Chain A
Amino acid sequence: MNANHAHRKTNGSILPCLLTALALTGTLLVGCSSKQSEKQEGQITVGFSQIGAESGWRTANTQSIKSEAEKRGVDLRFSDAQGKQENQIRAIRTFIQQKVDVIAFSPVVETGWQPVLEEAKRAGIPVFLTDRAVDVTDDSLYVSFIGSDFIEEGRRAGEWLAKKMDGKAKIAELQGTTGSAPAIDRKKGFEAFIADYPEMTIIKSQSGDFTRAKGKEVFEAFLRSPEGSEINALYAHNDDMALGAIQAIEEAGKKPGTDIVIVSIDGVHDAFQAILDGKLNCTVECNPLIGPQVFDAVEKYLAGEELPKRIQIEEGVFDENIVTQEVLDKRQY
């Protein structure tokens, strides 16, 4: 009896503490690093919800936005969604309550944004999308989408591969996270381009979740499959999966970059290193340094200018002929 009683008592006192702690964690997650500084007259407040710190690319993207905001004296309320849509929706709702001037975010997935964007519209807060698009029926829900064109990236990867392989290839494809905008569009763009080359076929395609570990595991399975020995090209939706696949290819006793030609997208530091090492053939850049272009657009909009629905980011294609140690040293991410 005694023990039971004591037990209940501890529980009783712990639970409220715990709830408070949880609530605190919640506010921390949402309102992170948004310094509640005194708002100066005329200063723009921007609420930005980032997907999360998933890769070097994303870190560079975050850095670019943060440093540009600081440079321009913008009050940036930055929130990290840790890869979860519900966190982003919560962050956007918090921004609406805080009555920020502009909301910007990189959506984790394409769907499910209609309700929260309608709330923002009702509150009269303009929304900018960065880097990834959303799937909504009413495109007046956001002002402009600033970011890379994933379809174009896929198309460029296809174009480079067709040239390199003389239009003949048995391709294995490592897709990104199922349902994410880059995975859908990079696939679409690539497929649309190689459709004109009857001798370029995708013989294997699976999701590698944009990670090295899955990229390696899935490509290992590809190489084991009956068609495995025919694969002579790999198209990976991001560099990390390609880097994982390179390890699988090496462990299977083949030479990545020679036996299997590899093209991927993003242009992260390790990918440039792999190109220098002759293991990766080409990476199509997906430029994360979008801060200047985002805040240009925000300032123009607040000054009353009309903006296009789509603002393209400048980016390049890097293959083994271009990449040298010098190019690598100059990369910011």
Chain B
Amino acid sequence: METKTFRSRAATKIVWPVLALALLILVNVLLDARSFNSFTDAFREGAFLHISFKNGYPSGALIDILNHGSKVMILALGMSLVIATGGVDLSVGAVMAISGATAAVLTVRGLPPTVVIPIALLISMVCGLWNGILVGMLKIQPIVATLILMVAGRGVAQMITGAQIITFHSPVMEFIGNGRLAWLPLPFPFILVLIMLFITWVSTRKTAIGLLVESVGSNPTASRFAGVRATSVIMMAYIFSGFCAGIAGLIAASNIKAADPTHAGLLLEMDAIFAVVVGGTALTGGRFFLGGAIIGGILIQTLTTTMYAQDVSADVAPLPKAIVVLIVCLIQSETFRNKLSKTWRRKQS
């Protein structure tokens, strides 16, 4: 019974971000219709919904969204677990830079991807472990603890590359961010998202880990008395977040076939937190919805792509973005919805 009500609550929570996403796409279709002067052209070339096949692979604005949004989506998976423990991980952007920088430098040195990728991911997990030790063992406030690596991490990344952009050439490394599989022709980064989502979902929802994470987040004292080792649960969450950031960093570097330690993942921690919160996970911790986080990631990328597609000038783009974020937050707020429906009913009667 308990799980059932919980599930249905998860289901209603995901309705709102999905609704907001649908609305945003509808706005694009309407704007397209206005510029083409007809509704029937919603799928024609140049339109937002248009999908063409280049070399047999689908391509279009919608595909771009899945492609470019994948970094935030993967970050959001790790962030979901961290937020569920009542924490937050501000360092993911910097860890992305470290992961990309490591991979690029080792690739340029001539090491094969089978060595490069595990090393980059391992270093990312060590970054996560560092956060985990500060938060889990030393009980430092998560915002402060991860802020340290957020600031220092970018310096580490720049040290690794010598503050240069390192361009690399390696078919496997370039595939991670740009490749397409013949039998599943979606952008490879998005396939990574699906794989990561599946792994995260199975390992948290099909085992007790998810429950432990949520219990630590909702009531640390009670879960401690119940025999949950909060420290190791928290450390695991941060290590996983570091791992996700490592993958996102590989995608970011692979995308441009170069490691850009200054800009890779810059401010993406904010996008990831936004994606998680929009997806229905409260920052207070204790609950997480992986599907919601993915939808949140898609939503934020759709917003960015919309700005490009509709020729919104870069000077004013933050404003419409902020308005959409506000609307999403409002329709997510139960208090606001109740107030709205009350006024609506009063008008009717």
Contacts and interface: CB of A to CB of B under 8 A. Distances in A.
A125 B163 CA distance: 31
B165 A14 contact: no
Contacts, number: 102
Interface in B272-328: 305, 308-309, 311, 313-315, 317
Contacts of A270: 165, 167
A19 B167 CA distance: 39
Nearest to B305: A221
B256 A253 contact: no
A204 B309 contact: no
Interface in A46-87: 52-56, 58-59, 82-83
A82 B94 CA distance: 13
A225 B309 contact: yes
Contact of A3 (B35, B154, B224, B311): B224
B165 A212 contact: yes
Contacts of A178: 314-315
A204 B309 CA distance: 10
B140 A82 contact: no
B178 A251 contact: yes
A244 interface: yes
Nearest to A218: B308
A209 interface: yes
Interface string A84-116: 000000000000000000000000000000000
A25 interface: yes
B139 A10 contact: yes
Interface string A263-301: 000000010000000000000000000000000000000
Given A54-B262, A54-B263, A217-B68, A247 B256 contact: yes
A240 interface: yes
Nearest to A83: B262
Size category of the binding interface on chain B: 35 or more
Nearest to B64: A220
Contact of A211 (B162, B178, B260): B260
B138 A14 contact: yes
Q: Which of B64, B148, B164 has the most CB of A within 10 A?
A: B164
Interface string B39-53: 000000111001000
A178 B138 CA distance: 41
Contacts of A167: none
A152 B210 CA distance: 59
B154 A82 contact: yes
A206 interface: yes
A7 interface: yes
A247 to B, nearest CB: 7
B315 A53 contact: no
B346 to A, nearest CB: 44
B204 to A, nearest CB: 26
A328 interface: no
A216 interface: yes
Interface in A197-227: 204-207, 209, 211-214, 216-218, 220-222, 224-227
Contacts of A53: 158, 163, 262
B46 to A, nearest CB: 3
A18 interface: yes
A31 interface: no
Interface of B: 35-36, 45-47, 50, 54-55, 60-61, 64, 68, 138-140, 144, 148, 151-152, 154, 158, 162-165, 167, 178, 221, 224, 252, 255-258, 260, 262-264, 305, 308-309, 311, 313-315, 317
Interface of A: 3-4, 7, 10-11, 14, 18, 21, 25, 52-56, 58-59, 82-83, 175, 178-179, 204-207, 209, 211-214, 216-218, 220-222, 224-229, 240, 243-244, 247, 251-253, 270
Listed from nearest, the 8 A-B pairs whose CB atoms lie closest are: A226-B46, A207-B314, A221-B308, A53-B163, A212-B256, A211-B263, A178-B314, A54-B262
8 contacts: A53-B158, A58-B163, A59-B163, A206-B313, A211-B260, A221-B305, A224-B50, A224-B61
